[in-house]
Homo-oligomer: A and B are copies of this chain.
């Protein structure tokens, strides 16, 4: 197979479909989503049968059980995909909205119209339900999409793609608006990320290795999420009960997510009052604590944190703790060691809260709230295609708006420039 030639064909078809999708009514986009639900419902047996092929292969290849589990399409996961489609169908359509339409001194009226980006390439690993999630957001935002799932999920992804194609077709939309790359050849990824003539943006979803590789080699804009090294800072004016609740929730509600707390900073003047109580609660939950020198004076016998700890995303029941001398030191630590993802301050001080909000350079900055809230659903975006740790284009949880751009529209009545 000539992968390059194949990808050019895919790219051309996507570009063509994108020009149709850009001008489609909300009603037809929603019909495509709802018809995909019908197709998934009708094809449940087929989906599970095709998924079984991937599962058999995965077990034969001795994939780790956790990976095999992520790959599995259970009836509940199909229900989840259907519920996701229904939710995206209920979201407001951002496309075509004109904002800030104003008269200018010359007499022309100028505004900004929300438009799709065009063609979005999405590269992801095992979970086949991402196929539906990503496709539904791209359809609703009027984009065409090229999906490249993990090779271990190829049968499942093709099966899901056939249901999406049925849905698009039922709404009179081009089936090529959502294309799943049919080859597992890795060269296809290399082509996908270097075809700016056909692809407007790439969203890599997966491990750090994948994202770094894509970012390094892409010739197309990338909306990416790297580390989530999140901090909580317990200020000297913190309410101690709130500190306990927020820090515990931020760390222990789930260990493996990017918005999980990894480093706790505590103002030196409140350290004695707060660290022992926190340590007790964390120990009860089985969380390992690694402290700075001053922390160890309070938690005698605890493990010492090394320099590496401050920039590690544990994704595990481990928390590093550092006692700092005031908010300024906390902010400097966060901006230096953090990953600009999500950071929270616990304080009752109006002034310090305000300053923390301004000076912490992260995609989500919080006062008296758990870092675990950094999420498209919790932020009211309805759904998210990912969380961006970049500053350009989209920052933080990326919903439908992140898949759009704005163009200027100008209304005149024969106006000329003098």
Binding site for B on A (CB under 8 A): 19, 22-23, 96, 102, 104, 106, 108, 110, 113, 115, 117-118, 200-201, 216, 219, 221, 239, 241-242, 245-246, 248-250, 253, 335, 344, 355, 357-359, 361-370, 372-374, 378-380, 390-393, 395-397, 405-418
Contacts and interface: CB of A to CB of B under 8 A. Distances in A.
Contacts of A392: 117, 200-201, 221, 392-393, 405
Contacts of A415: 246, 368-370, 373
A223 to B, nearest CB: 8
A382 to B, nearest CB: 12
Nearest to A375: B417
Given A358-B23, A391-B118, A104 B409 contact: no
A368 B414 contact: yes
B96 A358 contact: yes
A378 B412 contact: no
A390 B407 CA distance: 10
Nearest to A106: B378
Contacts of A408: 363-365, 374, 379, 395-397
A120 to B, nearest CB: 11
A37 to B, nearest CB: 24
B407 A364 contact: yes
A327 to B, nearest CB: 13
25 contacts: A23-B358, A110-B380, A117-B392, A118-B391, A201-B391, A246-B415, A253-B418, A363-B407, A363-B408, A365-B408, A366-B410, A366-B411, A368-B411, A368-B413, A368-B414, A368-B415, A369-B410, A369-B412, A369-B416, A378-B417, A391-B405, A392-B393, A392-B405, A395-B405, A395-B408
Given A23-B358, A117-B392, A242-B414, 18 more contacts: A19-B335, A23-B359, A104-B379, A104-B380, A110-B380, A200-B391, A221-B221, A221-B393, A246-B415, A246-B416, A357-B409, A363-B407, A363-B408, A365-B409, A366-B410, A370-B415, A373-B415, A379-B408
A113 B396 CA distance: 12
A414 B367 contact: no
A407 B391 CA distance: 8
A85 to B, nearest CB: 21
A378 B108 contact: yes
Contacts of A19: 335, 359, 361
A335 B414 CA distance: 23
Given A22-B358, A392-B405, A407-B365, A378 B104 contact: yes
B409 A366 contact: yes
Contacts of A378: 104, 106, 108, 110, 417
A47 B357 CA distance: 41
A233 B368 CA distance: 56
A323 to B, nearest CB: 22
Contacts of A366: 409-412
A102 B380 contact: yes
A368 B407 contact: no
Contacts of A108: 369, 373, 378
Contacts of A395: 405-408
Contacts of A362: 407
Contacts of A245: 414, 416
Contacts of A390: 221
Contacts of A335: 19
The 4 lowest CB-CB distance pairs between A and B, nearest first, are A369-B412, A249-B416, A242-B414, A366-B410
A158 B393 CA distance: 32
A414 B248 CA distance: 11
Contacts of A413: 242, 368
A408 B216 CA distance: 27
